[in-house]
Amino acid sequence: MHILIFTSSPNKDGLTFSCAQALRDGILEGGGTCEIVCLNDRKVGNCQACDRGWGTCLTEHVCQILDDFQSIHNQVIMADGYAFVTPVYWGDMSESAKAFTDRLRRCEATLRRESRMVDKPVVVVAAAGGSGNGTISCLQNFERWVQHVQARIYEMVPVNRWSKETRLAGLLMTGKRLAIEKKQFWE
């Protein structure tokens, strides 16, 4: 089982990246493979709603804006599952996560039940390092996105600096379970 772990924080040693590392370690312990994709290190611009909102994302299920999105989208299509780990900004996912997920939704949700993400498991982590607020509204927005692309919520995890240690241990187990369950029951 190959899982893509998306992070969307500019901070490489903070709460968000710690959560991604815990998931990675669990997936590897469970016998899966994974790759961490740092969206802040990639050039993924905002959706431009081309051709009155339905450009090639509707007709060809690819985005016509040329940047790093295309190569990441190809990785998404090939992966068996996903984890999105985002810092919480203003009660929502980060701007880099929003830009990527908006464009991915346009390309995959328009395929409806033929989305290349149909029934693939998704772990979503909302990491609120400062006040600790906003994790639930962030997770709700991600839940709606997962429904649009026809994937399947595997687990949704709110994390703040006070729950960090217990949540990291839980994320390790989530990654391991995800790799093992996929290997045993879904292949």
Q: Facing residues of 38 across strands?
A: 7
Residue 3 CA to residue 75 CA, distance in Å, equals 10
The whole-model pTM stands at 0.94
pLDDT (tens digit, 9 = 90+) per residue, 57-88?
988 999 999 999 999 999 999 999 999 999 99
Tokens, residue 97 = 């996560």
pLDDT (tens digit, 9 = 90+) per residue, 162-177?
999 999 999 999 999 9
Residue 183 CA to residue 167 CA, distance in Å, equals 24
Enumerate domains of the chain plus CATH numbers: 2-186 (3.40.50.360)
